[in-house]
Chains A and B, each alone.
Chain A
Amino acid sequence: MNDPFEQFDLPVAFEVDRQRLDERFRRLQAELHPDRFVRQGDQARRMAAAVAADVNEAYAILGDDYRRAVHLLERTGVTFDPERDTSQDIEFIEAQIEWRERLEETAASSDAAGLEAVATELAQARAEARAKVADALKEPGTPAADAKDRVLELRFFDRLLEETKRTRQNLARGK
C-alpha cells in the first residue's frame, strides 16, 4: 500500500484539513470504486476493488487521530505492537487506574448523571492528550522522544470513551 498522505496528496503532518480529505476521498471513490467498472469485465473490477480498498484504508488512517499518529511514527521507524504496548509513564498508569475505577463505579451504581460527568471530563482529558500528541509530532520527521507514550495515552482515552458509550447504552437499557 502506498503512503496515505501521498495517496491523498496531503502534507505529511498530524493536523489534516478534514474538508480537503473528505472532498478528495469522494473524488477518488467516484473515479475508482469498482461500481464504475461493472461493465468493463471482471479483471477491471478486481483491480479497481484493490485500489478502492487502498483508498478506503488510507482514508481511515488519515481520518483517525490515533491511527494517523501511529502511521507518522512508523514512518520514522518507531514500531507498534497493539498487544504489548503500554505507556511507561508511572503517573499516567496511575491516572488510567483511577479513570477506570470511576467509570466502573458509575456503571455499578447505575448512576447516569455521574456517568455523564465522567464522560465530560474524559472528553476534556482526551482533548488534552490529543494536543500533546500534536505537539510531539510537530516535526513529523523528527518526533519528540516521548511521542509514542503520548500516542498510547491518546489510545487509552479513545478506548475509554468507547466504553463509556457502551456503558451509557447499557444503562439506558436498564442492564
Chain B
Amino acid sequence: MALLQITEPGVESAPHQRHLAAGIDLGTTHSLVATVRSGEADTLPDEQGRHILPSVVHYAADTVSVGHAAAEHAADDPHNTIASVKRLIGRGAADVATLSGELPFRLKTGASSVPRIETAGGDKTAVEVSAEILHTLRQRAEATLGDELEGVVITVPAYFDDAQRQATRDAAQLAGLNVFRLISEPTAAAVAYGLDQGEENTIAVYDLGGGTFDISILQLRRGVFEVLATGGDSALGGDDIDRAIADWLLNQAGMAGETDPQRLRRVLLAARQAKEALTDAARTPVEVGRADGSAWSGELDRDTLVELARPLLERTMAACRQVLEDAGLEPGAIDEVVLVGGSTRMPAVREAVEGFFGRTPHAGIDPDRVVAIGAAQQADILAGNKPDTELVLLDVIPLSLGLETMGGLVEFIVPRNTTIPVTRAQEFTTFKDGQTAMSLHVVQGERDVVDANRSLAQFTLSGIPPMVAGAARIRVTFQVDADGLLNVTAREQTQGVEAHIEVKPSYGLTDSEIEQMLRDSASSAREDMEARRLREEQVEADRVLEALDAALATDGDRYLEADERQTIEQARDALRAEREKGVDPDAIEAARKRVEQASEAFVARRMNDSIRRALAGHNVSEYDAGN
C-alpha cells in the first residue's frame, strides 16, 4: 500500500519522533557503524572506545567471538579464525577455488553451490560469517542508542554484482537488520562530503585501505550518481608499505634474513608505528631488538618513507590512469577527489594523489570512517528524519544484465549504467516444433560470450503450450530494484498461459537455506524467534497505521466516498486492535494485509494525484525555491 508521503507545509505526522537508523561500512579488513545524533553523523565506539571492528570472526566449538577478540586467535588458531570473508561473499565454488590459495581457512565445496568454511563451530557460509559482524555492530548501535534500529544503509563496493549484493542483504537479514538500502562505498564517501548536493560533478574516490586499493570514477549528473569506471588492486594496501619499512629497518639493523616470527612481528609493528608517527612529524626515532639482546636505534624521516612507499604509490597511480582511460577522461576532467582508507593519512599519499589529479583532495573527514558516515547520513534521510530533503540518491546498475542465447552468446536486456529501479522486458520464441519448456540462463557482465560473464541464475519455463517453432512468444521481464537486486520472470504470451518458473540461484542461498540459518544461527538463538517475529509485525503495523492516519487526515475527504472511507477505517481499527493485543504475529499480518487491500484504490488515487502535482509544479520545494 503506497501511502504517499506528500509534503505539505506545516503538516507532519509525528513531529518530534526520531527514527533510529545507522550506516554500516562492512569492510574487508574492518567494519564500522555510524549514526546521526544532534545533526552530526559519527561512528560509534565499542565499550573500550574503539570505533573500528576488525572484520574477523573466530569459531570455537561452542562460542563465537567477533572483532578484536577474534583477531587474537589469528596466530594460534588460523583455521577457525575467519578474516577477509568479504572476498568470498556471493561467490561460487569456481571463484573461491582461485582465491583459496590466499586464504588460510579450509573451504568445502560440496552439494550446495555456496561454498562453506570448515570451522570448529561447524561449516559456515560467507553470509553467516558476515552476519556475525553485522550483528555485533547492530548490538553496539542499539546499546548506544538505547533502542532498536528501524533500519540501516549498508555500503558495498561499486563493482559488486547481483549475487554479492544479494548475499550482503541475506547477511543483514540473518543479523536481524532491516536494510533501507545498499549504496556503493565511493557514493557514500561522496555523500559524506556533500558532493551529492552539486549539479554536475565528476568525482574520483581514491580508497587505499590496509590490504586493498580501489579507485572509482563517479559522475553526478541530473541527480543520478553514475559509476563511470572502477579499478584497483585487491592485493595492495598500507600493509605493503609497512612491509617495505620493516625490510628497510632490518637492513639498517643488520638483521637482513631474520626469520624468527616473533621478532619479525615486532619489527613490523615498529614499522607501522613509525609510519603513523610520520603523518604529523618530519622524523621519528625507531628501535629494533636484535636476536642477541642488543638493539638498533635509529631514525626514519619522511623523505626515506616517501622513497620506500614510492613503488606502491606508483602502482596505485597506474590504476588511476587505467580507470581514467576506461572512463574516457583526462585527469583534468575530475572536479573533486575524495580520500578513503586509513593509508591515505600518509602525507606522501595525499601529495601523490594531488599531483596526479591536479586538485586538493577532500580529506577533512577521518578516512577510516568517511564511508560509514556517508551511509549514516543517507540512513537518516531514509528513516524520515529530514522530511525537507527532496534529494534522492539515484543509482545505476554497475554491470549489464542479460540472457544466454543460441551459441553461448549474451543478449543484453539491461545495459550497465541504466538508472535503477528499472523494468525491461524482451520477447523470445521457441526453436523446435512442439517445444513445451525453455531454459533461461541469466548472466551479468560486459562480454558477448556467456562464459566470460558471471552466471546469476538458471530458470526453466515449463508448461508452454505446444506450437510450431517460432510461434510462442515468451516475454522475459527483468526487474532491478533500487538496491540493484534482480528479479526475473517469464511468461508465455500467445495463449495467456501463466507458465511455471523455477529459480535455481547459481551462487545465492535459497530462501529455505536462509530460513534454516535463521533458526540455527548463534545470533538468533540469543533471541526468542517468536518474540522477534511479533516485534517485526508490530513495527510493520505501526508503519502502515501511521502512514494511513496521516493520509486520511490530509486526503481522506478529497478522494474517498463515505462508504469507502468506512471500509478502510474498519480495517484500520481491526489492525490497531490486533496490534495492541500483541500476541499473534500471524493475526497482525492478516489484519495488515486487509488494510492494504481495502486502501488500494485510495493509494492509487493519491499516487496519480501526486504525479500530477509534481508535474504541474505545485509542490512545496518549488515555492521554497521561490520559482
With A38-B180, A165-B328 known as contacts, the answer to whether A57 contacts B619 (CB < 8 A) is no
27 A–B pairs (Cβ distance < 8 Å), ordered by A = A24-B614, A28-B615, A29-B223, A30-B392, A31-B614, A31-B619, A32-B614, A34-B481, A34-B482, A35-B393, A39-B547, A41-B544, A41-B547, A41-B592, A43-B596, A44-B1, A47-B603, A48-B2, A50-B423, A53-B420, A56-B419, A56-B422, A57-B423, A57-B424, A59-B419, A60-B419, A165-B328
With A35-B382, A40-B3 known as contacts, the answer to whether A51 contacts B222 (CB < 8 A) is no
Binding-face segment, A100-108, A148-156, A167-175: A167-175
Chain B, interface SS category: mixed
Q: Does A13 lie at the interface of the complex (its beta carbon under 8 Å from any beta carbon of B)? A: no
Q: Does B584 lie at the interface of the complex (its beta carbon under 8 Å from any beta carbon of A)? A: no
Chain B residues with CB below 8 A from A28, complex form: 611, 614-615
Q: How far is the CA of A43 from the CA of B600 in the complex (A)?
A: 10
Cβ of B481 and Cβ of A26 under 8 Å apart? no
Q: How far is the CA of A21 from the CA of B617 in the complex (A)?
A: 13
Q: Does A99 lie at the interface of the complex (its beta carbon under 8 Å from any beta carbon of B)? A: no
Q: Which of B539-561 contact A (CB under 8 A)?
A: 540, 543-544, 547
Q: How far is the CA of A165 from the CA of B328 in the complex (A)?
A: 8
Q: How far is the CA of A142 from the CA of B619 in the complex (A)?
A: 36
Cβ of A47 and Cβ of B621 under 8 Å apart? no
With A30-B391, A53-B479 known as contacts, the answer to whether A35 contacts B328 (CB < 8 A) is no
Cβ of A40 and Cβ of B611 under 8 Å apart? no
Q: Which of B355-401 contact A (CB under 8 A)?
A: 381-384, 390-394
Q: Does B181 lie at the interface of the complex (its beta carbon under 8 Å from any beta carbon of A)? A: yes
Q: Does B19 lie at the interface of the complex (its beta carbon under 8 Å from any beta carbon of A)? A: yes
CB distance from A37 to the nearest CB of B (A): 6
Residue of B nearest to A30 (CB): B390
Cβ of B419 and Cβ of A169 under 8 Å apart? no
Chain B residues with CB below 8 A from A60, complex form: 418-419
Chain B residues with CB below 8 A from A34, complex form: 421, 481-482
Say which residue of A8, A22, A40 sits within 8 Å of B547 (CB atoms): A40
Chain B residues with CB below 8 A from A9, complex form: 615-616
Q: Does B27 lie at the interface of the complex (its beta carbon under 8 Å from any beta carbon of A)? A: no
Cβ of B392 and Cβ of A33 under 8 Å apart? yes
Chain A, interface SS category: helix
Say which residue of A26, A31, A41 sits within 8 Å of B543 (CB atoms): A41
Q: How far is the CA of A9 from the CA of B480 in the complex (A)?
A: 25
Residue of B nearest to A48 (CB): B2
Q: Interface size on B (CB < 8 Å)? A: 53
The winner among A8, A47, A48 for most chain B CB atoms within 10 A is A47
Cβ of A40 and Cβ of B543 under 8 Å apart? yes
Cβ of B544 and Cβ of A40 under 8 Å apart? yes
Say which residue of B2, B390, B393, B479 sits within 8 Å of A37 (CB atoms): B2
Q: How far is the CA of A33 from the CA of B482 in the complex (A)?
A: 8
Q: Does B46 lie at the interface of the complex (its beta carbon under 8 Å from any beta carbon of A)? A: no
Chain B residues with CB below 8 A from A41, complex form: 1, 540, 543-544, 547, 592, 596
Q: Does B280 lie at the interface of the complex (its beta carbon under 8 Å from any beta carbon of A)? A: no
CB distance from B329 to the nearest CB of A (A): 11
The winner among A9, A40, A51 for most chain B CB atoms within 10 A is A40
Q: How far is the CA of A41 from the CA of B151 in the complex (A)?
A: 12
Cβ of B619 and Cβ of A35 under 8 Å apart? no
Say which residue of B223, B390, B611 sits within 8 Å of A32 (CB atoms): B611
CB distance from B501 to the nearest CB of A (A): 18
Cβ of A53 and Cβ of B421 under 8 Å apart? yes
Cβ of A25 and Cβ of B421 under 8 Å apart? no
Closest 7 CB pairs of A and B: A47-B2, A33-B392, A53-B423, A9-B615, A53-B421, A44-B2, A40-B547
Q: Does A84 lie at the interface of the complex (its beta carbon under 8 Å from any beta carbon of B)? A: no
Cβ of B5 and Cβ of A36 under 8 Å apart? yes
Q: Does B258 lie at the interface of the complex (its beta carbon under 8 Å from any beta carbon of A)? A: no
- The 8 A CB mask of B583-627 against A (1 = contact, 0 = none) is 000000000100010000001000100110011110101000000
Residue of A nearest to B548 (CB): A40
Cβ of A27 and Cβ of B614 under 8 Å apart? yes
CB distance from A55 to the nearest CB of B (A): 9
Chain B residues with CB below 8 A from A37, complex form: 2, 5
Q: Which of A7-29 contact B (CB under 8 A)?
A: 7-9, 22, 24-29
The winner among B2, B547, B592, B616 for most chain A CB atoms within 10 A is B2
Q: Does A52 lie at the interface of the complex (its beta carbon under 8 Å from any beta carbon of B)? A: yes
- The 8 A CB mask of B156-192 against A (1 = contact, 0 = none) is 0000000000000000000000001100000000000
Cβ of B181 and Cβ of A35 under 8 Å apart? yes
Residue of A nearest to B382 (CB): A38
Q: Does B307 lie at the interface of the complex (its beta carbon under 8 Å from any beta carbon of A)? A: no
CB distance from B601 to the nearest CB of A (A): 13
Q: Does B4 lie at the interface of the complex (its beta carbon under 8 Å from any beta carbon of A)? A: yes
Chain A residues with CB below 8 A from B328, complex form: 165, 168-169
Say which residue of B482, B596, B607, B616 sits within 8 Å of A49 (CB atoms): B482
Say which residue of A7, A32, A54 sits within 8 Å of B610 (CB atoms): A32
Residue of A nearest to B378 (CB): A35
Residue of B nearest to A24 (CB): B615
CB distance from B345 to the nearest CB of A (A): 32
Chain A residues with CB below 8 A from B423, complex form: 50, 53-54, 57
Q: Does B287 lie at the interface of the complex (its beta carbon under 8 Å from any beta carbon of A)? A: no
